[in-house]
Amino acid sequence: MSTNSDIAGSFAAGFARAIDPTQLTGDADTGALRDFPLMPLGEHVDMGTDENGKPLFDPRIMMSAEFRRNPWPYYRILRDHYPVYFNKLNNTYYVTRYDDMTECYYDDIAFNTIPKGSSNGVLGNVTHELSGVEHRRRRNLFGQHLVGKSLENRIPAIERLATEMIDDFDNLDDSIKQDKDGVRTIELGRAFAYEFPVRVVCDVLGFPEEAREHFFYWYDSIMGGLGASDTHKQGMEARQHLQDYVADIVKERRQNPTYLYDNDGNEMGKDIISKLCESQVDGDYLSSEEITALIALVVAGGGETTRGTIMNMWYSLLQHPDQYNAVVEDEALWDAAFHETLRHSNPIGGQPRHNTFDVEIHGVVIPAGSLIEMVNFSGSHDERIFKNPDDFDIFRDDLYSGKLLRSGYNKEGKCSHMAFGVGPHMCPGAWISHQEGVIGSKILAKRLKNARINTSMMPKDIDGESLAPIGINKLRDLWIDYDLD
């Protein structure tokens, strides 16, 4: 599960931020649409140079299909020549280098908050739009239940839910499963990756099993209502339905808390809703509305990063059979595979900030109150930090793949990826997302014998033969073959 700095990156929607192409006229400064050719991976469209030979950068590239499939050479132009880039088309400053982003994330005074209103219309008064002491107090109300011993208590549920779903592959709908000549073909997203993390969140929060159907409605509607006017109304309705449902649960749990159990049925502690019902701020118990806001945040962020990471990880590993065979033979390498996936193909690519006062970075003065995007996509591909950053390599020796740290990791030649952010707003669900992705994949790998991509059912790149790259797109479908015998 991940809220990616309390899922701020989801609301930012990366670079494609609220621009109506039908309203764009004129040249690059005013935003006229432009067709960009699809280039070989790693090569960029020539956008010209200035009188000193410095590459020019046309911000309209960010709205193109070329950018979404082949972003890395364009991020490299930004990092090398425009490390702080002002995009006139959406009035946003982009910070693209790893070290600069890290410094900004840690500076809770100059960059003290995520932009107000980016999500609270759907989620309520959520913690990621708070800062300072108020943010720390409220974040810890639920963040403490997703780390350490509390996280260990969730592992039996993760294992049980993954096993249940994989056991049920025989009963999958024919639209996502085909059996022929001893080989089964499944679409991994609908068979497992999309639903699995949402089931885990539902379980560890402490919702009754009969709420699962509601839970998928809440999740899909709330996520769909973030930053999208067409679906905002449905998101608001889902959020109200969630609040009404939670109010009844809170009333009961205040008197009769419920518990989590291990695989042998032994009690391991109270579930998160029961714990929130006992929590206090300034001597007052949380209201049901405040608890709903915390739950809505976890609901909204509980699936997106984990879903995407499982899909991207399997897609990348199966295109590198030596790496996939290595994780199958040595399960300890799944941690490295998880972290390398988030470095290389993070499903959510940026986190927005407002600056409290004028700041200057690399000679660019950013006026107070500006919208600034910390481009995690770019930071995790910064060649100043990672060798051959555009290559997927679980064996790389410059990526830290140990226990996730809010402080990040940068020593002995190893650095953390930027997927979950660092500092005060690091994703509070990062740790359970890690457990879901690794544990679920370990169980999958044991059951999917001789797993390989069904290339005939997957989109192709511009040469018509190679598999389509992930880029900054979300992998929607992943068709996998495996042997039944």
Structure confidence by residue, pLDDT tens digits, 76-123: 999 999 999 999 999 999 999 999 999 998 888 898 766 554 445 565
pLDDT band of 18, cuts 50, 70, 90:
very low
Q: What was the pLDDT predicted at 243?
A: 83
> Residue 24 has what pLDDT?
35
Q: Please state, in angstroms and rounded to a whole number, the distance separating the CA atoms of residues 198 and 205.
A: 11
The β-bridge partners of 449 are: 483
Q: Which helix (H) or strand (E) holds 320?
A: none
Which residues are within 8 A (CB) of 343 and not within 5 positions of it... i.e. 6 or more apart? 380, 381, 386, 389, 399, 417, 418, 419
* pLDDT at residue 21 greater than cutoff 50: no
Give the span between the Cα atoms of 175 and 162, in whole angstroms.
Answer: 21
Side by side, the strands of the sheet bearing 479-483 are 177-180, 183-187, 479-483, 449-453
Residue ranges in 353-395 assigned as alpha helix (H)? 376-379
What pLDDT sits at residue 446? 96
| Residue 24, burial from CB neighbour count under 10 angstroms (0-12, 13-18, 19+) | middle
Question: Hey, CA dihedral for 381, 382, 388, 394, is it positive or negative?
Answer: negative
What the chain holds in terms of domains, given with CATH numbers, is: 4-18+90-483 (1.10.630.10)
pLDDT of residue 23: 35
- Band (pLDDT 50/70/90 cuts) for residue 428 is low
- What does the pLDDT look like over 193-226, one tens digit per residue? 999 988 888 887 888 888 878 888 887 787 777 6
Average pLDDT, integer, range 175-187: 97
pLDDT at 433: 83
Instruction: Judge whether 223 and 304 are in contact, CB under 8 Å.
Output: yes
Q: What does the alpha-carbon distance between residue 185 and residue 248 come to, in Å, rounded to a whole number?
A: 43
Rounded distance between C-alpha atoms, residue 481 and residue 450, angstroms: 8
pTM to 2 decimal places: 0.86
pLDDT higher than threshold 50 for residue 14: no
Least trusted range by pLDDT, from 135-149, 230-244, 404-418: 135-149
Q: Is the dihedral of CA 394, 410, 312, 85 positive or negative?
A: negative
Residues 287-314: pLDDT tens digits? 887 787 777 777 665 567 788 899 999 9
